[in-house]
Amino acid sequence: MQATPAITEPVLFILLSLAQQPRHGYSILKDVEKMSDGRVRLSTGTLYGALRRLLEEEWIERHQEDNTSRGRQGYKLTSHGRRVLRQEVARMQQLTRLATLRFARREA
Amino acid sequence: MFASEMLDVFRQAQADAANRSISWCMVFYMREIAGLFGGAARERLRNLPASGDCKLKFGGSMNQQPRCHFPRFAILMMTIIFVLVLEIIAKGEGLSHYLIRLSAVGGPPLAAGQERWNLGNSIQHWPSHYGLISGVAMGFLIAWAVGVAAWVFAYLLRRTGAQHFDQTQSWPVNH
């Protein structure tokens, strides 16, 4: 089994963006900006560097958009990518629960 | 692989930024430049071999060097360039002394065939065609240096694999 690369915040946002629906590059940029309330703004280079790595890891795959005359291609999550994203979200939930507990104990 | 698609996305983002304030535009371009260099650096680091694999090897030709291979010819060229730089510095110093002495004399410039200059109480001897010869030599040196610089530039371009850009493909062809 190959090692899971670290999921950085931009990568997490990209995966979350694609979890909802397949998207093309510019749509991912805008969605990440919207999801993070403008805090995370990806540059084109950062976006495509991340997309390339995600394609290599087979977390995402290319997706042909049918409804555009330009034949634009987008990206969508693979089942493996969705599983990795779920694991990451579960890990973050566990971390959040733990942090909440620790804070609660200290304040009690 | 992503060249045309990246360009397309960049143009859309650029058009979006153009509709906003100047400061927004500046931040956009700075972010894009930083992202470009950051991405290139990350890719470079990713492609670096493990430290144990990278042993500097000497020898070989200039053609398609394997990773970490240092051509012997480059060492020779570097040595020649170094010696020439030293020589040019020495010539430059000589020339500057010559000009200082000329300005101290305050007389007319050296005429063709004139061999002696009276500098205060001392007599200085200069070759009659010193200026011409050194000028020609300097011209050759400059031309040579330009040639070497062009060669180094072409060599570095080749090392980056830029000659393969025309073979890049944005998307795989579906058969």
How is residue B127 written in tokens? 């070759």
List chain B domain ranges: 3-48, 69-162
Is residue B153 very low, low, confident or very high in pLDDT (cuts 50, 70, 90)? confident
How distant, in Å, are the alpha carbons of A108, B64, B67, B73, B115 from that of B70?
Answer: 66, 11, 9, 9, 50
Q: Do A29 and B5 touch (CB under 8 A)?
A: no
Asked whether this complex has an ipTM greater than 0.85, the answer is no
How is residue B33 written in tokens? 């430049």
Q: Is A64 helix (H, G, I), strand (E, B) or coil?
A: strand
Cα distance between residue A54 and residue A76, in whole Å: 11
Q: Name beta bridge partners: A41.
A: none
Pairing of strands B57-58, B116-119: unpaired
Residue B91 · residue B134 · CB < 8 Å: yes
Q: What angle do CA A89, A91, A94 make, to 5 degrees?
A: 110
**Cα A27 to chain centroid, rounded:** 13
Residues of B in Cβ contact (< 8 Å) with A47: 9, 35
Q: Which amino acid appears at position B79 of this protein?
A: T
Phi, psi of B124 (to 5 degrees): -105, 140
From B171, which residue of chain A is nearest by alpha-carbon distance? Answer: A73
For residue A62, the tally of other CB atoms under 10 A from its CB is 13
pLDDT tens-digit map of A45-62: 889 989 988 999 999 999
Q: Do A43 and B6 touch (CB under 8 A)?
A: no
How far away is chain B from the Cα of A80, in angstroms, using its nearest Cα?
Answer: 22
pTM of the predicted protein model: 0.53
For chain B, the average pLDDT equals 70
Residue B85 · residue B75 · CB < 8 Å: no
How far away is chain B from the Cα of A47, in angstroms, using its nearest Cα?
Answer: 9
Torsion of CA A90, A93, A98, A102, to 10 degrees: 170
B20 vs B108, more confident: B20
Q: State the average pLDDT over residues B126-154.
A: 72
Residue B43 · residue A49 · CB < 8 Å: yes
How far away is chain A from the Cα of B18, in angstroms, using its nearest Cα?
Answer: 15
- For residue B162, the model assigns a pLDDT of 63
Q: Is B44 helix (H, G, I), strand (E, B) or coil?
A: helix
List chain A domain ranges: 9-107
Q: In CATH, what class is A9-107?
A: mainly alpha
% residues pLDDT > 90 (chain A): 58
pLDDT tens-digit map of B83-106: 888 788 888 888 888 888 777 766
Q: Which amino acid appears at position B109 of this protein?
A: P
DSSP-derived secondary structure letter, B52: T
Cα distance between residue A1 and residue A105, in whole Å: 39
Which residues 16-55 of chain A have a CB within 8 Å of chain B?
24-26, 29, 41-49, 51-52
pLDDT tens-digit map of A74-108: 899 999 999 999 999 999 999 999 999 998 887 77
pLDDT tens-digit map of B20-44: 888 888 888 888 888 888 887 777 7
